[in-house]
């Protein structure tokens, strides 16, 4: 649920704050247990560069890939926005919403961290 908090905080900033926002495995869909998503906040008010990192095979019910890609349209005030998609990795050994699954980028840890760090440094090249 960190993506919900991070997006909400970024939307409330008037000035100052972080240089950018990175959302990974973003909660975009409600469920019986989850009633708040990044869409509950004001994505249109986020004014910092934003990277949305997602695994195309994420099986978590509240983080479907299609909705992560769709949320990019709501980021209307960001000076820079980019989706970053991963595929493959190791087969899940936990619940689809757990860290040991595609949701947690299992087996892709180094690649994901390197790509995020490159984007933060401004050297990321879209895949």
Question: For residue range 105-124, what is the model confidence (pLDDT) as tens digits?
Answer: 999 999 999 999 999 998 55
Alpha carbon 116 to its chain's center: 11
Segments forming the whole domain that contains residue 23: 2-121
Radius of gyration for the chain, computed over Cα atoms and rounded to the nearest angstrom? 14
Query: The CATH number of the domain where 117 resides is what?
Result: 3.40.50.1820
In a domain, 127, yes or no: no
Q: Is residue 103 part of a domain?
A: yes
Query: Is 59 domain-assigned?
Result: yes
pTM (predicted TM-score): 0.89
Contacts of 19 (CB under 8 A, 6+ apart): 48, 49
Beta bridge partners of 83: 52
Asked if 89 contacts 54 with a C-beta cutoff of 8 angstroms, the reply is no
| Contact between residue 76 and residue 85 where contact means Cβ atoms under 8 Å apart | no
Per the CB < 8 A criterion, the answer to whether 96 and 61 are in contact is: yes
**pLDDT class for 125, splitting at 50, 70, 90?**
low
Total number of domains in the chain: 1
pLDDT at residue 123, as a whole number: 56
- Residue 98's pLDDT is what? 93
């Amino acid at each position: 649920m960190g993506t919900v908090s991070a997006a909400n905080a970024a939307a409330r900033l008037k000035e100052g704050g972080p240089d950018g926002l990175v959302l990974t495995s973003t909660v975009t869909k409600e469920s019986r247990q989850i009633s708040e998503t990044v869409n509950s906040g004001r994505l249109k008010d986020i004014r910092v560069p934003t990277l949305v990192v997602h695994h195309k095979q994420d099986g978590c019910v509240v983080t479907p890939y299609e909705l992560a890609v769709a949320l990019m349209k709501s980021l209307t005030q960001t000076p820079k926005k980019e989706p970053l998609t991963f595929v493959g990795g190791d087969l899940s050994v936990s619940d689809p919403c757990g860290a040991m699954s595609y949701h947690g980028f299992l087996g892709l840890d180094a690649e994901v961290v390197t790509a995020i760090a490159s984007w933060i440094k401004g050297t990321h090249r879209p895949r």
